[in-house]
């Protein structure tokens, strides 16, 4: 997992496949939204296990577990950081639409 700290990026690393920084940013943004959506679904699934309408004595313990799960996701690197790392490491598959066909 990449480091969550601020890193200065070399533009040539981000544009080696696209040769265009704007295309690279669009690709990174789309991948970032995919990662964000997946993480949100995971978090909601884990927190839904705690959803109950009955009050009981174990509520305090469950609340602690919910807090720990939430903290884990808060400490994770941001989706944009993950997407940028994937782009630099050539882990993102993308295709460019041929505009001459339109």
Phi, psi angle pair for 43, to nearest 5°? -65, -45
Separation between Cα atoms, residue 81 and residue 70, nearest integer Å: 19
Domain boundaries, the chain: 11-92
- With tokens 């295309």, the residue in question is 23
Q: What is the pLDDT of residue 56?
A: 61
Query: Which residues, 6 or more positions from 88, have their beta carbon under 8 angstroms from its beta carbon?
Result: 9, 13, 14
pLDDT tens figures, 52-93: 655 565 555 567 888 899 899 999 999 999 999 999 999 999
pTM: 0.78
């Amino acid at each position: 997992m990449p480091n969550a700290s601020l890193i200065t990026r070399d533009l040539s690393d981000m544009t080696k496949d696209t040769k265009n920084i704007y295309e690279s940013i669009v690709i990174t943004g789309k991948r970032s939204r995919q990662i964000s959506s997946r993480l949100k679904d995971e978090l909601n699934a884990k927190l839904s296990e705690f959803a109950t309408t009955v009050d009981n004595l174990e509520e305090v313990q469950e609340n602690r577990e919910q807090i720990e799960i939430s903290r884990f996701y808060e400490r994770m690197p941001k989706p944009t950081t993950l997407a940028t790392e994937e782009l630099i490491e050539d882990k993102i598959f993308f295709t460019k639409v041929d505009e001459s066909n339109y």
